Amino acid sequence: MALLGKAGWSATENPAEADLIIVNSCAFIESAKRESLNAVFAWRKQYPGTKILLAGCLAQRYAAELSLSLPEADGLFGNTSLEGIAAAAAALVPDSTSGGESPPSLQTCTSFGLPLPPPPGGSAPKPPQALPGTRPLLSPPGSAYLKISEGCNNRCSFCAIPLIRGPLRSRDITGISAECRTLLDRGIRELCVIGQDIASFGDDRPDQGDLPALLEAIAAIPGHFWVRLLYLHPDRLPLSILDIMAADRRFLPYFDIPLQHASRPLLQAMNRRGDGEHYLDLIQKIRTTLPDAVIRSTFLVGFPGESEDDFAQLLDFQEQAALDWAGCFTYSREENTPAYPMKNQVPRSLAAKRKRMLEERQQGISEGRMERFVGRELEVLIEERFTNPEEGAGGLYLGRAYCQAPDVDGVSLVHSETELIPGALIRCRVNGRAGFDLRLQPTAKADG
Ligand code: SF4
């Protein structure tokens, strides 16, 4: 969006007046691919005369196939050469921008910025760059994602992401710190640090330091803000970050650690090192150093060979770990991944049943975990007003406390007698719980 804006494009919330519809796609698992394609079909049906550019991972992963079989899209744009987006857009809608770059010639359906991965021996694609100028923020008010790396070297056997996103490329720490400062100057209160696996940050550039070094650099930035670390691979998590986080409470004691399973043979088949016992030990270490720690994980059920005994181990682990939050996916058989040819595929219906069982049990566990916040004072990042402003200055607001990451966890329901500003951090007292959401009331004024 920043690059398109620089080239003279502006975004519209009204698709009827758009010259170009860009569908940013996902290709991680079957359901995501279906959702991405359905989005293209739906836009095409609704706006038959508007150009559609299919961008992102689906275009990247299936460029050859889609250029032949998806006439609903006018162009494909992968995810390795983002700087080409304005040229790709101009190629589809030649007279729509202020000019500058000459568009590449276009047939009915073409692709730009493809393919990935690079040829063996070829140079790796670049890490994500902080783009010049003001990048539009699509996250809720006061919050921004901070991407510190691109790609992944872990090669979990079920996962297509390394095929789509390529090998690990970490950004440089100075550039990341500069982007943090820019975001904070724009009024951002929460920096959500992301990458496919942020625990591996820096493994590809030993010259400049790892995740702890990055956290030290962020800790040197003055001001009050939150830093939320998302997606830490359990086998790679550097334990020294725990002390850094304990010493600087701006690093939220929130851990998103996708564990995937607890059965050792199954984790080995997934090309992961740990097992339930190791993971319980890791959880214990985190909770000992940071007693307020909130831990989220995701589990994968229905991986080839998952027996009743493996699944029983996972349920047992779930009980013992008592994680605050957990999501569950069923295995998606992805071509060109090491797991694709594996024998003993688990029937979809059985995988779905296991997912349901895990999710149902987690609901009670999550609700029980949230109970410990009742009666406590927490800081809340206000996201939006829920009630009609005409009903008076106060009302019900939705927000998130440190224990609630954007989009995936429960939320904070804040009842206020005065007006609250979305994007502000305010101190609140937790009066109760509604399921796994928290009910709160402000105890002090917003931070502005
Ligand atoms: S660590 Fe995550 S992104 Fe990397 S291969 Fe494993 S599941 Fe995929």
Do 281 and 152 lie in one domain? The reply is: yes
Tell me: the pLDDT tens digits for 163-176? 999 999 999 999 99
Identify whether 270 is part of a domain: yes
Residue 261 CB-half CA count within 13 A? 29
Tell me: the pLDDT tens digits for 294-320? 999 999 999 999 999 999 999 999 999
Do 195 and 307 lie in one domain? The reply is: yes
Q: Which residue has the tokens 């496919």?
A: 196
The arithmetic mean of pLDDT across residues 64-76, rounded, is 94
Residue of 146, 159, 148 lying closest to 202 (CA atoms) = 148
Tell me: the pLDDT tens digits for 223-235? 999 999 999 999 9
State phi, psi for 58 to the nearest 5 degrees: -65, -45
| Per-residue pLDDT, 387 | 83
Q: What is the mean pLDDT of the chain?
A: 90
Start-to-end CA span in the chain (Å): 28
Name the least confident of 76-90, 110-124, 253-267, 390-404.
Answer: 110-124
Distance of CA 384 from the midpoint of ligand 1 (Å): 33
In the predicted model, is pLDDT for residue 198 greater than 50?
yes
Q: How far is CA 95 from CA 82, 92, 99, 101, 281, in A?
A: 21, 9, 8, 12, 60
Identify whether 131 is part of a domain: no
How many other C-beta atoms lie within 10 A of the C-beta of residue 121? 5
Q: Which atom of ligand 1 is nearest to the CA of 153?
A: 4
Q: Where does residue 120 rank: exposed (0-12), middle (13-18), buried (19+ CB within 10 A)?
A: exposed
| Per-residue pLDDT, 49 | 94
- State the CATH number of the domain containing residue 269: 3.80.30.20
Distance of CA 41 from the midpoint of ligand 1 (Å): 29
Percent of all residues in the chain with a pLDDT value above 70, rounded to a whole number: 90
Residue of 25, 24, 26, 29 lying closest to 337 (CA atoms) = 29
Site to substitute for ligand 1 among 155, 161, 198, 257, most atoms within 8 A of C-beta? 161
In the predicted model, is pLDDT for residue 323 greater than 70?
yes
Three-state helix/strand/coil letters over 99-141? CCCCCCCCCCCEEECCCCCCCCCCCCCCCCCCCCCCCCCCCCC
Tell me: the pLDDT tens digits for 139-159? 899 999 999 999 999 999 999
Residue of 212, 228, 205 lying closest to 153 (CA atoms) = 205
| Per-residue pLDDT, 137 | 87
Site to substitute for ligand 1 among 149, 152, 164, 336, most atoms within 8 A of C-beta? 152
In the predicted model, is pLDDT for residue 97 greater than 60?
no
pLDDT band at 116 (very low <50, low <70, confident <90, very high): very low
Report which DSSP code applies to 84.
G
The arithmetic mean of pLDDT across residues 250-254, rounded, is 98
Distance of CA 153 from the midpoint of ligand 1 (Å): 8
Do 366 and 379 lie in one domain? The reply is: no
The arithmetic mean of pLDDT across residues 102-121, rounded, is 41
372, 387, 415 - which closes a domain: 372
Q: CB of 57 closer than 6 A to ligand 1? A: no
| Per-residue pLDDT, 126 | 67
The arithmetic mean of pLDDT across residues 340-367, rounded, is 97
Q: CB of 234 closer than 6 A to ligand 1? A: no
Do 49 and 183 lie in one domain? The reply is: no
| Per-residue pLDDT, 132 | 54
Residue type, 58: L
Gap between the Cα atoms of 155 and 333, Å rounded: 15
| Per-residue pLDDT, 94 | 84
Tell me: the pLDDT tens digits for 415-448? 999 999 999 999 999 999 999 999 999 996 555 4
Gap between the Cα atoms of 105 and 87, Å rounded: 10
Site to substitute for ligand 1 among 61, 149, 156, most atoms within 8 A of C-beta? 156
What is the distance of C-alpha 48 from the center of its chain? Answer: 32
| Per-residue pLDDT, 129 | 64
Gap between the Cα atoms of 7 and 99, Å rounded: 7
Do 277 and 405 lie in one domain? The reply is: no
In the predicted model, is pLDDT for residue 117 greater than 90?
no
Q: CB of 197 closer than 6 A to ligand 1? A: yes
Do 155 and 100 lie in one domain? The reply is: no
* Count of domains for the chain: 3
In the predicted model, is pLDDT for residue 107 greater than 50?
no
Site to substitute for ligand 1 among 28, 204, 233, most atoms within 8 A of C-beta? 233
3-state SS, residue 410 = coil
Residue type, 214: L
Structural domain that includes position 329 = 143-372
Q: CB of 164 closer than 6 A to ligand 1? A: no
- State the CATH number of the domain containing residue 437: 2.40.50.140
In the predicted model, is pLDDT for residue 115 greater than 90?
no
Rg (CA), the chain: 23
pLDDT band at 125 (very low <50, low <70, confident <90, very high): low
What is the distance of C-alpha 256 from the center of its chain? Answer: 10
Distance of CA 368 from the midpoint of ligand 1 (Å): 30
Do 307 and 434 lie in one domain? The reply is: no
| Per-residue pLDDT, 130 | 58
| CB proximity list for 296: less than 8 A, separation 6 or greater | 254, 255, 256, 257, 323, 324, 325, 326, 327, 405, 408, 409
pLDDT band at 30 (very low <50, low <70, confident <90, very high): very high
